Amino acid sequence: MAPFNMAGVAGLLATCAAAAASAAYLLPLLLLLICPRGTHADPVVLLDTTQEEKLEWTKYPFGAEANTPGWVEESFTNFDKGINWRSYVVCDVAYNNVNNWLWTPFIERGPANRMYIEIKFTTRDCSLFPGNALSCKETFSLLYYEFDVATKEPPPWETDSYKLIGRIAAGEGRFNTNTEVVINTEVKSIPVTKKGVYFAFRDQGACISILAIKVYYISCPEISVNFAHFPATPTGREVALIEQTIGTCVANAVVIEQPTFLCKGDGKWYLPSGGCHCKPGYQADVEKQECTECPIGKFKHEAGSHSCEACPAHSKSSDYGFTECRCDPGYFRAEKDPKKMPCTQPPSAPQNLTVNFVDQSTVFLSWNAPHMLGGRTDTTYRVVCDACSMGVKYIPNTEVFNDTKITITGLNAVTTYRFQVFAENGVSALAGKSEYVDITVTTDASVPSLVSNVRITSVKSSELSISWDAPITEIGGDSDLVERYEVRCYPRYDDATNATVIQTSELSATFKGLKPSTDYAIQVRAKTTRGWGEYTPVVYKKTPHAMGLDYVGEDDNMQVRIIAGAIVAVVVLLVIIIIMTVLILRRASDECNKKQPSDCDTLEYRNGEVGVAAASAGGAGGGGARSYVDPHTYEDPNQAVREFAREIDAGYITIEAIIGGGEFGDVCRGKLKLPPDGRTEIDVAIKTLKPGSADKARNDFLTEASIMGQFEHPNVIFLQGVVTKSNPVMIITEFMENGSLDTFLRANDGKFQVLQLVGMLRGIASGMQYLAEMNYVHRDLAARNVLVNAALVCKIADFGLSREIESATEGAYTTRGGKIPVRWTAPEAIAFRKFTSASDVWSMGIVCWEVMSYGERPYWNWSNQDVIKSIEKGYRLPAPMDCPEAIYQLMLDCWQKERTHRPTFANLTQTLDKLIRSPDTLRKIAQNRIRERGAPPPPPPASSTSSNVHLRKRGTNPLAPDAVDLTQLTSVSEWLASIKMSRYAESFERSGVTTLEAAARVTVQELTALGVTLVGHQKKIMNSVTALRAQMSATSQGFLV
């Protein structure tokens, strides 16, 4: 169905009137729009004659020069209904050349952009004057004249000085002597720009009474939403225009995101965004949209819509509006503590401080946690030693720690030390003091003797054997007799405190269970009656590899070889399977490319006829899903309509107004009574067939209905039914209030957030995914063929097969097979007239560009030939103003020259879903745009050497003189930018590919792990990698000159 033209087409009213004759009832239009509660239209009255005691309006002719009675002021009363209105009456039907004028006073428009005038009147039937009526009419004219200053004299009344609003007729009915008075009500509206306006009523021979006049404008009412106040806002100059209003935060609230509200033409607010939050110390009253102070005993420490909270334990708020509760005496809150956390205390002193070990230079202390932790979990300890020298070391080696033990080394022998262990937490510094416990320790006497001649006697992959000589002692010195030895072994680069320790009385020891191929450190010390001596200097030894023949038994060796052989066999088998799969897929692709167009899931456009292959690209329609059936396969189009469309009785349809025109006839707005009772009505769009249309036009008209009737998806226009058993023939679809997407965007330029535009694109992609899975190729996807309803839901439309496209308006490129909209069509479809879902994806990229540029014309004023040549040379449309980089990259993916490299509609829908769920990804704006919105369009590229169109062709010799020298690039990010693959720079860096040498070693398998999943991008990067390898190799080897 052709897109709606929202402007009225007066010349086509007769056709819709004829169609209305077959309808049972005529009801006024009622648009049902979703609005927040309390946002109903607010009319502001500027003139109401029912409230006036007298009118005394200016009229013409008047006085002695008047040749007819003209307009006469009188009272209209109906005491039963409580009516007593001042009115004007005229009934000069007995005169020729009647020309009676009546003017309202000057009506200032105030802030109004569009003024409405409501007229209540009666009309007498001309049949009441059979012999005396010389110029009897049953209509009068309503005109207006805008003016910037009210004048004492009446404004000019010539026809060319006034703009005609319309001729007013009695829609409710006329009355004669046999019927009671019928009061008609007519409402008209006009856009206004000057200070005020005169309305004029012109009679040319009717017998009418103007009973009451009301002049007003519609305003969206004053309202508070999301804690932002929006003033009363007059509607726009046109009914379809949306006025954006910026709100201000209510008292004691702060802006979170600029609050905006859209005022629609019917005076209702729509689509609020942004808003405010109550500031700290104030809580939200959602019902009243107010921010009130926190009561005593409660607090709120940050801005937000949540309520005030009760003060946590050991704190209180003694007044209203507290942002933080104050701690009780003796309790504290650390700077980093959450405000809702209870106030806490420092801990008590540690308990049971004990000396676990002491020798001539080392003390090991331990203790228990304090009995009172102060309500916190961040208790730490600190050890102070007054008499310790600078050479003393602590393990753990930190000033504060949370372990309940410590080792102190480097002490002097036979020395008394006092150690203080402090317990502290996050509020100890605020309290000003810390509790502690102390202990006094005296170190042992020194042991001068050392073990000597430490040596490795045996080494295996998991075992080390060590021996040593006893220390030299004085003859007869009983205190120097060795009691036992201690040997420790630990990996070379580990801490000695984690060593494996063996105590023995022998002069040798063996460590087992060690790691193969590991350097180990060995130390030995002796203990006498005077205590432990010092450790010997470190001896290092590396264990051999585990697979050495000396340490693997024959049975184990055979088992290892069997396992290794099995692994190698499995790997080889997998490689063979992968290679065969790739070869089979390539052969299938080559065979498909060699077949006729109809054999490879393409839609061929031949002489206006369309054929669809049985299989879908990528198997979209498989798995038992319903597939599209071409209506042209039916000999009788009426049979296809009966199968796919519902026949509707014309009596259930009411046509109300013409809203546009199409190829086959008029497009009207109306009502459809839903069977079986006919009490429920819905708004519908009605497409009528021109009377006297040829059989081919009727068949094409019905074919379009047969196509639409097969689709049922939230983002595809829904067919309610058809009327084929009476004239005129009609197609009934759901009504889309905002009309075509391109017109709607141009009328509301810059009024939507990026997330809303991306939401529209997501809906379009979802609808096209559904059509692709149905095996249907649209061929003419463009913003003009997408309709928008009141909730901003976009739906695919226009399924006609023999459209008349004018080259001057929509850029159709005429070929032997029909006319093609060049600016939206993929290059292979232009060149070979072969349409697939991949060519629809190209068109989707153009639609994305149209949406992000608010309905701008693709390729501006270029000719069709310039567009075709530029695309062939590699030119692509630049990013629109303020377009996110992620969306522009999506467009470029859709515009891949190779159709197999383009994403599917399922890919597009999934990507747009991810962007909507992660709005932060839309913040980065694309930088490669060439002009601001509204600036003059650029000329078409002059040649392939232009910076915009010069793209390196696949297969170019990387060592040719004109090839790009990739070795001159300095970084991986610069290399990726040169091939327009900057989106993967972060992935390469995270994976360690940070130099050009590393990039030259990248393989196809590694690209998938790097996040490069699109086949087209993989091929592009690997082509550049191949060129980089060749140029690096040539540079390293040099050339003979």
Same-domain status, 782 and 901: yes
For residue 657, tell me if it sits in a domain.
Answer: yes
Same-domain status, 876 and 1020: no
Residue 592 has pLDDT above 80, yes or no: no
The confidence score (pLDDT) of residue 828 equals 92
Q: If you average pLDDT over residues 605-609, what whole number do you get? A: 35
For residue 581, tell me if it sits in a domain.
Answer: no
Instruction: Give the confidence band of 885 by pLDDT, cuts at 50, 70, 90.
Output: very high
Q: Are 866 and 940 in contact (CB under 8 A)?
A: yes
Same-domain status, 231 and 97: no
Residue 229 has pLDDT above 60, yes or no: yes
Residue 615 has pLDDT above 60, yes or no: no
Active site residue 780: yes
Which of 217, 238, 261 marks a domain boundary? 217
* Three-state DSSP state, 640: helix
Q: For the segment 474-527, what is each residue's pLDDT rounded down to a tens digit?
A: 545 555 688 899 999 999 888 888 899 999 999 999 999 999 989 999 999 988
User: Measured between alpha carbons, how far is 447 from 477 in angstroms, rounded to an integer?
Assistant: 13
The confidence score (pLDDT) of residue 179 equals 59
Length in residues, the chain? 1041
Q: Are 999 and 975 in contact (CB under 8 A)?
A: yes
Residue 1040 has pLDDT above 80, yes or no: no
Going by C-beta distance under 8 Å and a sequence separation of 6 or more, which residues neighbour residue 911?
A: 890, 903
Q: For the segment 815-841, what is each residue's pLDDT rounded down to a tens digit?
A: 444 578 999 999 999 998 889 999 999
Residue 57 belongs to a domain with what CATH number? 2.60.120.260
Q: How many domains does the chain have?
A: 7
Q: Are 902 and 890 in contact (CB under 8 A)?
A: no
Residue 955 has pLDDT above 60, yes or no: no
The confidence score (pLDDT) of residue 1034 equals 59
Residue 745 has pLDDT above 90, yes or no: yes
The confidence score (pLDDT) of residue 852 equals 95
Same-domain status, 92 and 203: yes
Q: For the segment 280-334, what is each residue's pLDDT rounded down to a tens digit?
A: 999 999 999 999 999 999 999 999 888 999 999 999 998 999 999 999 999 999 9
Least confident residue range of 577-581, 971-975, 1014-1018: 1014-1018
Which is more confidently placed, 389 or 810?
A: 389
Q: How many percent of the chain have pLDDT more than 90?
A: 45
Q: Which one-letter DSSP state was computed for residue 716?
A: B
Instruction: Give the confidence band of 662 by pLDDT, cuts at 50, 70, 90.
Output: low
Same-domain status, 49 and 159: yes
Residue 601 has pLDDT above 60, yes or no: no
619: left (phi over 0), alpha (psi -120 to 50) or beta: left
* Three-state DSSP state, 987: helix
- Cα 1038 to chain centroid distance, Å, stands at 52
Same-domain status, 784 and 767: yes
Please name the helix (run of DSSP H) or strand (run of DSSP E) that holds residue 997, with its range, or none: helix 996-1000
Going by C-beta distance under 8 Å and a sequence separation of 6 or more, which residues neighbour residue 99?
A: 60, 61, 202, 203, 204
Which of 863, 896, 928 marks a domain boundary? 928
Structure token digits, residue 446? 């020194």
| Binding site listing | 659-667, 687
Least confident residue range of 384-388, 525-529, 598-602: 598-602
For residue 242, tell me if it sits in a domain.
Answer: yes
Residue 410 has pLDDT above 80, yes or no: yes
Please name the helix (run of DSSP H) or strand (run of DSSP E) that holds residue 852, with its range, or none: helix 837-852
Instruction: Give the confidence band of 966 by pLDDT, cuts at 50, 70, 90.
Output: confident
Catalytic residue among 359, 630, 780, 893: 780
Amino acid found at 46: L
The confidence score (pLDDT) of residue 298 equals 94
Please name the helix (run of DSSP H) or strand (run of DSSP E) that holds residue 367, with its range, or none: strand 363-368
Residue 387 has pLDDT above 90, yes or no: no
Least confident residue range of 798-812, 893-907, 1023-1037: 798-812
- The 10 Å Cβ neighbour count of residue 25 is 13
Residue 506 belongs to a domain with what CATH number? 2.60.40.10
For residue 703, tell me if it sits in a domain.
Answer: yes
The confidence score (pLDDT) of residue 1032 equals 76
Residue 1030 has pLDDT above 80, yes or no: no
User: Measured between alpha carbons, how far is 163 from 156 in angstroms, rounded to an integer?
Assistant: 12
Q: If you average pLDDT over residues 613-620, what whole number do you get? A: 34
Residue 647 belongs to a domain with what CATH number? 3.30.200.20
The sign of the dihedral angle between the CA atoms of 495, 499, 505, 507 is negative
Same-domain status, 717 and 814: no
Same-domain status, 837 and 906: yes
Q: For the segment 170-211, what is each residue's pLDDT rounded down to a tens digit?
A: 876 666 665 567 889 999 999 999 999 999 999 988 899 999
User: Measured between alpha carbons, how far is 538 from 199 in angstroms, rounded to an integer?
Assistant: 109
For residue 564, tell me if it sits in a domain.
Answer: no
The confidence score (pLDDT) of residue 987 equals 86
Structure token digits, residue 251? 């008292």
The confidence score (pLDDT) of residue 1001 equals 85
Q: If you average pLDDT over residues 410-426, what whole number do you get? A: 91
The confidence score (pLDDT) of residue 893 equals 94
Domain that holds residue 1009: 972-1036
| Binding site listing for ATP | 659-667, 687
- Cα 745 to chain centroid distance, Å, stands at 17
Residue 46 has pLDDT above 70, yes or no: yes
Which of 170, 200, 217 marks a domain boundary? 217
For residue 587, tell me if it sits in a domain.
Answer: no
Same-domain status, 910 and 779: yes
User: Measured between alpha carbons, how far is 322 from 1008 in angstroms, rounded to an integer?
Assistant: 55
Cβ burial, residue 705 (10 Å; 0-12/13-18/19+):
buried
Q: For the segment 893-945, what is each residue's pLDDT rounded down to a tens digit?
A: 999 999 999 999 999 999 999 999 988 889 898 875 444 455 555 666 654 33
For residue 399, tell me if it sits in a domain.
Answer: yes
**pTM of the complete model:** 0.42
Same-domain status, 987 and 918: no
Same-domain status, 730 and 745: no
Going by C-beta distance under 8 Å and a sequence separation of 6 or more, which residues neighbour residue 1?
A: 662, 667, 685, 687, 704, 708, 717, 731, 733, 797, 798, 799, 800
Same-domain status, 227 and 185: no
Least confident residue range of 18-32, 583-597, 932-946: 18-32
Q: What is the DSSP string of 462-510?
A: TEEEEEEEPPP--TT-GGG---EEEEEEEETTS-GGG-EEEEESSSEEE
For residue 615, tell me if it sits in a domain.
Answer: no
Q: For the segment 711-741, what is each residue's pLDDT rounded down to a tens digit?
A: 999 999 999 999 988 888 899 999 999 999 9
Q: For the segment 438-447, what is each residue's pLDDT rounded down to a tens digit?
A: 999 998 776 6
Q: What is the DSSP string of 73-104?
A: EEEEEETTTTEEEEEEEEE-TTSSS--EEEEP
Average of per-residue pLDDT values in the chain: 81
Q: Which one-letter DSSP state was computed for residue 619?
A: G
Which is more confidently placed, 400 or 678?
A: 400
Instruction: Give the confidence band of 158 by pLDDT, cuts at 50, 70, 90.
Output: low
Q: Which of 780, 796, 688 is nearest to 736 (CA)?
A: 796
Residue 920 belongs to a domain with what CATH number? 1.10.510.10
